[in-house]
Amino acid sequence: RAKAAGGNRFERADPEADARAITRHGLTTALPAALDRGEFFIEYQPLVHLDDGSVHGAEALVRWCHPQHGVLGPDRFIPLAEHTGLIVPLGRWVLQEAARQARFWNRNHADGGPLRINVNLSPTQLHHPNLVADTVDVLERSGLDPGALCLEVTESALIGADEDLLKPLRQLAEMGVDIALDDFGTGYSNLANLRRLPVSVLKLDRSFTQSMQQHPVDPVDLKIVEGIVSLAHSLELTVTVEGVETGAQAEQLRELGCDTAQGWYYARPGAPDRIHSLVLADAV
Ligand code: C2E
Ligand code: MG
Ligand code: MG
Ligand code: MG
């Protein structure tokens, strides 16, 4: 790497890049069979209310238990699945599995109000003509209340979105499904554009949370988050913050008016029964 940086930029032989390309190719071709063989699994990360730390729901995060490479995170294979179109059946599987799981949690303890389940959608899924029909099918089969489902789409996937793209999201929103704008603040955040989108949740990107870790926190950063939160609230959006790693960040973001949070400070993504025990612990 050091050699590559300091040496001849036009050096062609790059064994590391070759190895990465080979792995990418291997992973891409292995994806369809992996889905058939059930090599994917979901970890759940709790979403908590910032005011009292109670569990509000969980985000479903897919992983691949690869027979040779071990457990791979979504950043390693979602782009490949997105590229080949396998993201459609994979995404459908994630939605079905996460909905089933959420229904199971809620069947067993609905005391504190139903737990919400957040599922990520990639741009290809968003453009797929069966998005609404597939989601309706999953809700019917799992018995999950539409109001307990939140679909996360990234801000960048909605940039320049026309009515054709927004229509399915509007239909889902009308059914009671929440749409969240994920990684908000990383793209060309067009605040005025927010009004037009059928979203009910804003997920502030981890970079904002990280800026709350400075000592002292940059007053400009504080103003920016404060401004986003107040705009979001005036549009009746809920504000979730990602990547909360310390109590100080949680406290700062709570003071700034954020509603819910997610991060290692509360819990890392984990097995579904962990969510169960966290909620039960809450209830006592
Ligand atoms: P995301 O939706 O923004 O998910 C949050 C990511 O932040 C997750 O990474 C999570 O493990 C990580 N994270 C949570 N708390 C903390 C923290 O306190 N500190 C730090 N440093 N990181 C934290 P993960 O699981 O690797 O997922 C990466 C991305 O992959 C997700 O970003 C999402 O865009 C995508 N993804 C995950 N599952 C799916 C899926 O089922 N379908 C699609 N289309 N995309 C998915
Ligand atoms: Mg997400
Ligand atoms: Mg996110
Ligand atoms: Mg993110």
Strand, coil or helix: 170: helix
CA of 242 from ligand 4 middle (Å) equals 7
What angle in degrees, to the nearest 10, is found between the helix axes of 87-108 and 131-142?
Answer: 30
For residues 272 and 44, the answer to whether their CB atoms sit within 8 Å is yes
For residues 231 and 195, the answer to whether their CB atoms sit within 8 Å is no
3-state helix, strand, coil in the chain (%, to 5): 50, 20, 30
Ligand 1 within 6 A of CB of 61: yes
State the virtual CA torsion across 274, 280, 283, 284 in degrees, nearest 10.
Answer: -120
- Please count the other Cβ atoms lying within 10 Å of the Cβ belonging to residue 278: 20
- Please count the other Cβ atoms lying within 10 Å of the Cβ belonging to residue 164: 8
pLDDT band for 12, please (50, 70, 90 cuts). Answer: low
What value does the CA radius of gyration of the chain take, rounded to a whole number of Å?
Answer: 20
Please tell me which residue, 84 or 278, carries the higher pLDDT value. Answer: 84
ipTM value, please give it: 0.98
Number of the ligand closest to the Cα of 240: 3
CA of 8 from ligand 4 middle (Å) equals 35
Point out the least confidently predicted range of 8-17, 27-36, 70-79, 237-246: 8-17
Q: Quick: pLDDT tens for 71-112.
A: 999 999 999 999 999 999 999 999 999 999 999 998 876 566
Q: Quick: pLDDT tens for 40-65.
A: 999 999 999 999 999 999 999 999 99
Q: What is the mean pLDDT of the chain?
A: 90
Q: How confident is the model at residue 267, as a pLDDT?
A: 95
Ligand 1: which of 42, 45, 61 to mutate, judged by most atoms within 8 Å of the beta carbon?
Answer: 61
Ligand 1 within 6 A of CB of 71: no
Strand, coil or helix: 42: strand
Cα–Cα dist 51/205, whole Å: 20
Query: pTM to 2 decimals?
Result: 0.92
